[in-house]
Amino acid sequence: MFDIDKDKVNDECGVFGIYSKHTGTAVAQQAYLALFALQHRGQESCGIAVCDDGLIRHHCDLGLVPDVFSRDTMESLGSGNISIGHVRYSTMGTNIRANAQPLVIRHIKGAMAIAHNGNLTNAVALRKEIELAGAIFHSSNDTEVISYIITKARLTASSIEEAVETAMGQMQGAYSLVIMSPTKLLAVRDPCGFRPLCMGELDGDIIFASESCALDSLGAKFVRDIEPGEIVVADKDGVRSITTHCKKRKSGLCLFEFIYIARPDSTIDGVSVHSARLRAGALLAKAYPIDADVVIGVPDSGIDAALGYSRQSGLPYGVGFIKNRYIGRTFIQPTQGERELSVRIKLNTIDTTIKGKRVVLIEDSVVRGTTTSWIVNLVRKAGAKEVHMLVASPPYLHPCYFGTDVDNRGTLIAHKMSVDEICRHINADSLHYLSLDDVEKIAEGSMREFCTGCFTGDYPLPVPAAGEKNRFEYRISDVDR
Amino acid sequence: MFDIDKDKVNDECGVFGIYSKHTGTAVAQQAYLALFALQHRGQESCGIAVCDDGLIRHHCDLGLVPDVFSRDTMESLGSGNISIGHVRYSTMGTNIRANAQPLVIRHIKGAMAIAHNGNLTNAVALRKEIELAGAIFHSSNDTEVISYIITKARLTASSIEEAVETAMGQMQGAYSLVIMSPTKLLAVRDPCGFRPLCMGELDGDIIFASESCALDSLGAKFVRDIEPGEIVVADKDGVRSITTHCKKRKSGLCLFEFIYIARPDSTIDGVSVHSARLRAGALLAKAYPIDADVVIGVPDSGIDAALGYSRQSGLPYGVGFIKNRYIGRTFIQPTQGERELSVRIKLNTIDTTIKGKRVVLIEDSVVRGTTTSWIVNLVRKAGAKEVHMLVASPPYLHPCYFGTDVDNRGTLIAHKMSVDEICRHINADSLHYLSLDDVEKIAEGSMREFCTGCFTGDYPLPVPAAGEKNRFEYRISDVDR
Amino acid sequence: MFDIDKDKVNDECGVFGIYSKHTGTAVAQQAYLALFALQHRGQESCGIAVCDDGLIRHHCDLGLVPDVFSRDTMESLGSGNISIGHVRYSTMGTNIRANAQPLVIRHIKGAMAIAHNGNLTNAVALRKEIELAGAIFHSSNDTEVISYIITKARLTASSIEEAVETAMGQMQGAYSLVIMSPTKLLAVRDPCGFRPLCMGELDGDIIFASESCALDSLGAKFVRDIEPGEIVVADKDGVRSITTHCKKRKSGLCLFEFIYIARPDSTIDGVSVHSARLRAGALLAKAYPIDADVVIGVPDSGIDAALGYSRQSGLPYGVGFIKNRYIGRTFIQPTQGERELSVRIKLNTIDTTIKGKRVVLIEDSVVRGTTTSWIVNLVRKAGAKEVHMLVASPPYLHPCYFGTDVDNRGTLIAHKMSVDEICRHINADSLHYLSLDDVEKIAEGSMREFCTGCFTGDYPLPVPAAGEKNRFEYRISDVDR
Amino acid sequence: MFDIDKDKVNDECGVFGIYSKHTGTAVAQQAYLALFALQHRGQESCGIAVCDDGLIRHHCDLGLVPDVFSRDTMESLGSGNISIGHVRYSTMGTNIRANAQPLVIRHIKGAMAIAHNGNLTNAVALRKEIELAGAIFHSSNDTEVISYIITKARLTASSIEEAVETAMGQMQGAYSLVIMSPTKLLAVRDPCGFRPLCMGELDGDIIFASESCALDSLGAKFVRDIEPGEIVVADKDGVRSITTHCKKRKSGLCLFEFIYIARPDSTIDGVSVHSARLRAGALLAKAYPIDADVVIGVPDSGIDAALGYSRQSGLPYGVGFIKNRYIGRTFIQPTQGERELSVRIKLNTIDTTIKGKRVVLIEDSVVRGTTTSWIVNLVRKAGAKEVHMLVASPPYLHPCYFGTDVDNRGTLIAHKMSVDEICRHINADSLHYLSLDDVEKIAEGSMREFCTGCFTGDYPLPVPAAGEKNRFEYRISDVDR
């Protein structure tokens, strides 16, 4: 299927957790509403686990939140005092139910539910080590590896949080975790803080979520971001922080959270996502003043950057596209070879904005470049005299090992072509990218440093060598006999 | 259920038809794609009928297009040479499958499928007359009445189009129809042209649709609008027009198509919907210059008007809200009394745009007024210093009898309160509506005159007297014994 | 799909109705339970209509009773004081939802719901006449014709029962009807009484059902059978009978109700179905004494006849087959050409019963003969030394026009081959059918005379001439232009 | 819910496996058909795993085979060269998807899928030991324990079969396993052979199944039963047997497989199930000659015993009950307190068989005694003069630890009342059970000895002490902090 959203950097997950001092609370319903607000972080599968006075119930499945959770399912989850939830995006081919989270497991000291956003860089090595000790795995995701590392540590630890503290010494990579034990809720962020994770509060209940928009959807108050390397524990004695792993490393917050992944109404580590996108547009305007008639953005993320460009440049801002509000699991596709139609089902032009104009067209990013030429083509068909393409991020040149789905350098258009070649390929009159210097300024005022590995190849942590597998392989035909 | 979209004028339907000279064409798939583009005109039920060399197959059900039409369902519809489709919105309480369209019926001269957008004003009288002759009805919608009128006329007519021509002499009100016989496809628009209907062409196939955006979604070329009173017939001999009922009346195109109902990328009777909304904003700016810091629109339709206001006034345009992209059939609602949350699930503020600012807030319309105060409240919570509410249409004072769901004067806030009272009620610093004079200018350049009945009570056609039933009643406890 | 149940005479429907003097009664639930007991009379679609103080709600769909009626659906039907229900079998190709019953319609004097078991022989003529008056049809079933005839009569009648009385003068053929008006429940049986219909009573509530087993499933008391030609009316004034059309004709109860269609625990017009099947077996034993070791029946109906044969002949009765209890909508079929497997999925042999034995194998009937040879083959594979096939009904030679699905003489094996040829074709050592004289004795003690048209070609009523259409055709490519 | 099938001994599972030498074989379809034949062994959940040249795909869910496996699901499983399948019954409360099988896991040497019928008696101890080594569990079933034991052994074993051989040294209890590695298919039966397991062959493909009826449904040839303690391996080199654990113990085949669990057309360890039931009836007749008019059996298993009684005693055999063929997931139940109706929905009497008669009524077993009195009541209501109840198995006095769901002595009626008390409780004129001596004769000719623990308390293996948990507890509120 040819999908215009496929040319994007997709985050693999969103996580949520709530701890209430009162049993019989509608914590599953809160998780539902929060996951609904985090749905943009993962549309493939979702799940909720509820702890009802020590007893854990859970339900996960493939599908969007409103489809997976029916009235009956919600009733069967019931009320409780703790709940965690998860939404998951996944790369093609591992779209199976076994990978849906939260993962609920039983170990010697009890049960545990875990929801994970990120990607371990040493998961393959860790898994091999664990398997050599006789362990078995049910899934291909590294959340199961994490649950093993914690469980092993738990054997000798005096508490779940101590086990997590120990486990963090072994895990490398990106992980924003929400963990539920029969009596506690934990939020954990890796020492680089690749993925966001924040804390909120609602009538005394403690809430953790990937993005602040989930807090807003519950009417909860934003309290603070979880620090890179921090463990926050919520239980009957209140909230406390374990900071053993904090500040050991330079932080490396993912810039793509601002560029594309996060919702514009979220604030991450001190910076409004919407403002960051406006700033990206303004920086483009300063760097590339263009003699044009209108500035239009490609929905959704390009729109904010277009507005930023317009404000800085004084060029009029226009609405050039309309996106179909009802996009979902439409299985029907125009016949092969008619890619333009495939784009048009989701995205149509507003011709009065474009006709006869010299257009500045702003995209948040160009990753694989599969749809850009068709979008330029739509704008030309709508009557644009010139199309100047501006990209609100630098050329995407290197794979990401920290929680997005861009794991193969070979598919990256900027790796295969020069900017001039891309410009000709997409049939634009000019093409410019935000510079590396500028992209680091978009999250101005953040309390963190950033990971720019995908632009520079320079990562905050060692990454697997080229050719080395960073994912578990299902195919095992060469093994067990 | 408290629903922010309930304070809107909802059109009752969207229609589509395609005639191909070749059998074995994927006409059902074309209908699917077109209905997907027309989904905003009706989310309650949908249906497709296919004519395969004279044999009619159809499938209708409650739900959105991608939910009603599975792979299996589409396979069972198969290919053919003619197809029509329908999406339907419906008022609460008549949400039953029997009302889904297209309506497929058998009469003495064969079969017929019919899809209808609009509302007859004399349906109750016509139905009574037909029933007195012994007819039976299966549904409560007036499409069945229309099919009867046409069938009666067909008894003595020499063709289906002649029957429709005769039937039009009896039907009063709003109707944009697409009708399929075993060999022909007809498009019919009432003499006032209340609802839009246009014609397109794709590789020789003839297409009719409620809005031009459906043509775009198929890659079809826009040919022209159907004239008020016109019948267009497509069959193996080509396309021909019957204009007997044209120009007998002043046209009365519904202004709410431009204000709220239609998709902004559609062009109706010569006017771009997006441009009309920009113009509404500009006219507001001329009429009500306000000393403020930012102009924001309430999604989706208020956004275009806000941009128009900004351009005219010079005040900066800002993005103040983010709407959840995954809104669907979420059954979960925050507990009663927490209406703010109910709004917030769908609509969240972007606080950096609003905080400390004097805000001009633009809504396309305020009909029942059920959510406006909560939206103003959200903006205040986000830190606005002042909130000036502008409405891009005049006060809504009278019921609509021509195809929308506003049929009860008692629920209209402008009927119950003065503008000052409303302003206080919604807690705005000021409140202004677009004037009646100005609203007639938003579709400047249109080839039609407009219906302004909902603002003035002055309708293009006689309407049922107050208290008179304009809908069929299901409750029949006082009758048959 | 090759289906062992396809070689049967299938009744087209089962009907049910309940009238309670009290509103707020769980009448829909009673209908559900009764339809579940009548499921054998129709597995394709089902439906329930409820009258709640004059307001009619209904739900019909394709599928078995437990699949069509979910908890949500039953809740939406709610309680009431009258309810009718229907299960429907249908011949291949008209398996569409529009044909599901009860049919709920609105006419000038109110609403009406109607459930029908049978087949009109003059439906095509009646429909044509009605259509010529401008009527339109939504379905291809003759229930809609019946509803029209009644509605026409209702225009001038003073009550619904008077309308039905008048309508009966026009309708020819088989019809057992249950009709619900906003205030009354009617049971109607055609003057020949082709299909069964009985009355029961439970705590003062009046119940009508196709078979007495439905009464048992509710714990209701059997009151009596509805007479051929009778109309029974239940309303707030009690129960009364209209007998205008009674005794005008010789009755013609369908013998296949006893042979195959009805449930063995039902009693029809004074005769136990189980006893009739035992008697058929005994009559076979008298007519065809065979030197054999064991008598086995083909499940389900052949089993009773086998027991009757055993008792009469003194030969041991054995269980030779086991039928899979979970047969349902299994879409998977063994690969083409492996018909034996297709039989074996549903029916397996118990080899210890058969091995080395001379077997008397009893089938209730052989209609199209599609599976008989495979069943004989199974018995041979299980080690039978000889297989003597006895059929508990006479050769099936003529189409049925009175409510079963055998409408094409060309498919009948006894029409195409002599008994000897059939015997060789199915590879049996001998083959005998119950004689015509004997089959009329199986329902000994009945208060009715029987229709033996399918055996003799001599029908109680005139039937359409050969080649004349007895069903409505969907294909109308030669008509409307 | 009051359910007449609840008063039964329910086996927990059925297993199936097929090994083909050819890739691209429709092995999943074969599994589907076989599971459909084994559906009586488990109706709660089912699953199929396919090995396609080393790559394992699988699908499991709650529901019956035809409901869990849609056309789409089967397509996604695809073809392959090995497949295993599982149907599962489960006791109330653990009806969750995580317990569905086959269990597919990944260990250090590759992947493995496992399907299990039985119950380990040392599962709790084994699990504790494994958990103490840091292992985590996803489910509460002992199949996961088995997979761990095998995986641990696999670390040092040179092949999967060697690992299984080692693991068998640690596992105690009942287990009939089918195990699939990327290249092999294994069938494993515990040293006592509590549960059946047999081997078949079809065109060179090797098949394993719980019962021979599954072989029949595929048209496969029965080869032999797997020996207690045997491991059979099928791979590219053919079939070989590992007998290390054979004959170390007295075998202990479960007698309830003959009494109730297995399908009558199956042959287990040399004995036809149908013949065993006939023999049980005959033994009852010898032990308890009764002066009566008719012998009837309670469907389904009581019917065979009734026939055996009739043959031995000379009393006429009658069909006294009809069971609704469409029983399924009917959620609707008669209102509380009307237990008779609850029985009657599924089971109705044929009164002509019973009326005025002295009835011998035969049940296969009476476990909890919840429905017996209602069945006697039905027979009395049908007009029986006397009701003599015979039970085709001895009083059920002790829990089963070897794979059925009878795990609580407190619910057993024979544990709570004397035979006389039960007789009065169920309102029978007399009540007799098959004697312990006789029940051991029903499977006469078997190559095994039997487990009679449920009648005698004398088990072939040590069982957990009274009060000791034999099942994993989900509730862990007293643990992890």
Closest residue of chain C to B181, computed from CA coordinates: C480
Contact A297, A362 (CB under 8 A): yes
Q: Strand A82-88 relative to strand A45-52: parallel, antiparallel, unpaired?
A: antiparallel
Is residue A55 within 8 angstroms of chain D, CB to CB? yes
Q: Is a pLDDT exceeding 60 seen at residue A263?
A: yes
Are C55 and B475 inside 8 Å of each other by CB? yes
Q: Say whether pLDDT at A289 is over 80.
A: yes
The Cα D339–Cα B296 span in angstroms is: 65
Question: Phi first, then psi: what are they for B38, rounded to 5°?
Answer: -100, 5
- What's the pLDDT tens digit per position in A212-259? 999 999 999 999 999 999 999 999 999 999 999 999 889 999 999 999
In C, minimum Cα distance to D328 occurs at C66
CB of D268 within 8 Å of a chain C CB? The answer is no
ipTM field: 0.91
Residues of A in contact with D159 (CB under 8 A): 481
Q: Is D107 on the interface with A (CB under 8 A)?
A: yes
- In this prediction the pTM is 0.89
**Which one of C13, C192, C246, C400 is the catalytic residue?**
C13
Structure token digits, residue D269: 């360890």
pLDDT for position A220: 95
Q: Does D83 touch chain C (CB under 8 A)?
A: no
What does the pLDDT read at residue B479? 43
Does the CB of C275 have a partner CB in chain D at under 8 Å? yes
The two tokens of residue A163 are 């086990």
Write down the pLDDT at residue D339: 61
C54 in contact with B, Cβ within 8 Å: yes
Q: What is the pLDDT of residues D394-428, one digit of tens each?
A: 999 999 999 887 878 888 999 999 999 999 999 99
Label residue D90 by pLDDT band (50, 70, 90). Answer: low
Residue D93 has pLDDT above 50, yes or no: no
Q: Over the stretch B43-68, which tens digit does the pLDDT of each residue have?
A: 889 999 999 988 899 999 988 898 89
Q: Is B62 on the interface with C (CB under 8 A)?
A: no
CB contact under 8 A, C334 and D71: no
- Which tens digit of pLDDT belongs to each residue from D163-187? 999 999 999 999 999 999 999 999 9
* pLDDT tens-place values along chain C, 481 residues long: 345 555 666 667 999 999 999 999 999 999 999 999 999 998 889 999 999 988 899 999 988 898 899 888 898 899 999 999 999 986 443 456 777 899 999 888 889 999 999 999 999 899 999 988 888 888 878 899 999 999 999 999 999 999 999 999 999 999 999 999 999 999 999 999 999 999 999 999 999 999 999 999 999 999 999 999 999 999 999 999 999 999 988 999 999 999 999 999 999 999 999 999 999 999 999 999 999 999 999 998 899 999 999 999 999 999 999 998 776 545 555 554 556 677 778 899 999 999 999 999 999 999 988 889 999 999 999 999 999 999 999 999 999 999 887 878 888 999 999 999 999 999 999 999 999 999 999 999 998 999 999 999 999 999 987 655 555 544 433 345 4
Q: Which of residues 131-150 of C touch B (CB under 8 A)?
A: 131-138, 140, 147-148
The CA distance from C190 to the nearest CA of chain B, in Å, is: 22
Instruction: Choose the closest CB to B322 out of A29, A263, A267.
Output: A263
Tens of each residue's pLDDT in chain B, 481 residues? 345 555 666 667 999 999 999 999 999 999 999 999 999 998 889 999 999 988 899 999 988 898 899 888 898 899 999 999 999 986 443 456 777 899 999 888 889 999 999 999 999 899 999 988 888 888 878 899 999 999 999 999 999 999 999 999 999 999 999 999 999 999 999 999 999 999 999 999 999 999 999 999 999 999 999 999 999 999 999 999 999 999 988 999 999 999 999 999 999 999 999 999 999 999 999 999 999 999 999 998 899 999 999 999 999 999 999 998 776 545 555 554 556 677 778 899 999 999 999 999 999 999 988 889 999 999 999 999 999 999 999 999 999 999 887 878 888 999 999 999 999 999 999 999 999 999 999 999 998 999 999 999 999 999 987 655 555 544 433 345 4
**Sequential DSSP letters for D334-369:** --TT-HHHHHHHHEEE-HHHHTT-EEEEEES--SS-
Contacts (Cβ under 8 Å, ≥6 apart) of C294 = C315, C316, C317, C318, C320, C353, C354, C357, C358, C359, C360
Sort out which chain D residues have CB atoms less than 8 A from A111's CB and list them. 474, 476, 479-480
CB-based contact, A81 to chain D, within 8 Å: no
How much is the pLDDT for C60?
92
Separation of alpha carbons D338 and D333, rounded Å: 9
Indicate the residue type of D95: N
pLDDT category at D306 given cuts 50, 70, 90 is: very high
Could you tell me the CA-to-CA distances from A282 to A439, B40, B457, C423 in Å, in that order? 11, 34, 49, 91
Cβ <8 Å between A219 and B33? no
More confident residue, D286 or D346: D286
Residue in chain D lying closest to A76 (CA): D96
C192 flagged as catalytic: no
D277 to chain C: which residues are within 8 Å by CB? none
**C301 to chain B, minimum CA–CA distance in Å?**
35
Write out pLDDT tens, residues D23-63. 999 999 999 999 999 999 988 899 999 999 888 999 999 88
Predicted confidence at residue B387, as pLDDT, reads 98
The answer, yes or no, to whether residue D92 has pLDDT greater than 90, is no
User: D-chain residues within 8 Å CB-CB of C265?
Assistant: 322, 348-351
C312-324 burial, b at 16+ Cβ within 10 Å, e below that, comes to bbebbbbbbbbbb
Interchain CB contact of D336 with C (< 8 Å)? no
The letter for the amino acid at C154 is R
Whether B316 contacts chain A with CB within 8 A: yes
Q: How far is B204 from chain A (nearest CA, A)?
A: 18
Mean pLDDT of chain D: 90
CA distance A81 to chain D (A): 12
Give the N- to C-terminal CA distance of chain D in Å, as an integer: 37
Q: Is the pLDDT of residue D477 over 60?
A: no
Whether B480 and chain C come into contact, CB under 8 Å, resolves to yes
Length of chain C: 481
CA–CA min distance A387, chain B (Å): 20
Distance between CA D37 and CA C327 in Å, rounded?
A: 10
Produce one character per residue of D403-415: b if its CB has 16 or more CB atoms within 10 Å, e if not: bbbbeeeeebbbe
D243 CA to chain C: closest CA distance, Å? Answer: 31
Contact C105 B137 (CB under 8 A): yes
Q: What is the pLDDT of residues B319-359, one digit of tens each?
A: 999 998 776 545 555 554 556 677 778 899 999 999 999 99
Any B CB within 8 A of C425 CB: no
Q: Quick one: closest CA in B to A276, which residue?
A: B352
SS (H, E, C) C381-442: HCCCCEEEEEECCCCCCCCCCCCECCCCHHHCHHHHCCHHHHHHHCCCCEEEECCHHHHCCC
Residue D476 to residue A54, Cβ atoms within 8 A: yes
* Of residues D249 and A194, more confidently modeled: A194
Whether residues A274 and B350 touch (CB distance < 8 A) is answered with yes
- What whole-number distance in Å separates Cα of residue D16 and Cα of residue A237? 52
Q: Which of B109, B133, B475 sits opposite C480 (nearest CB)?
A: B109
Interface residue B322 vs chain A (CB under 8 A): yes
Name which of A134, A137, A480 is nearest D182 (Cβ-Cβ).
A480
Share of chain D above pLDDT 90, in %: 73
State the first-to-last Cα distance of chain B, in angstroms, to the nearest integer: 37
Rounded to whole angstroms, the Cα distance separating A307 from A314 reads 10
Query: Within 13 A of C225's CA, how many CA atoms are on the CB side?
Result: 24
A152 with D138: Cβ contact below 8 A: no
CB-CB under 8 Å, B351 with A272: yes
* Non-local CB neighbours of B117 within 8 Å, separated by 6+ positions: B11, B12, B13, B14, B15, B41, B174, B175, B176, B177, B195, B197, B210, B403
Write out chain A residues lying below 8 Å of B322, CB-based.
Answer: 213, 263-265, 274
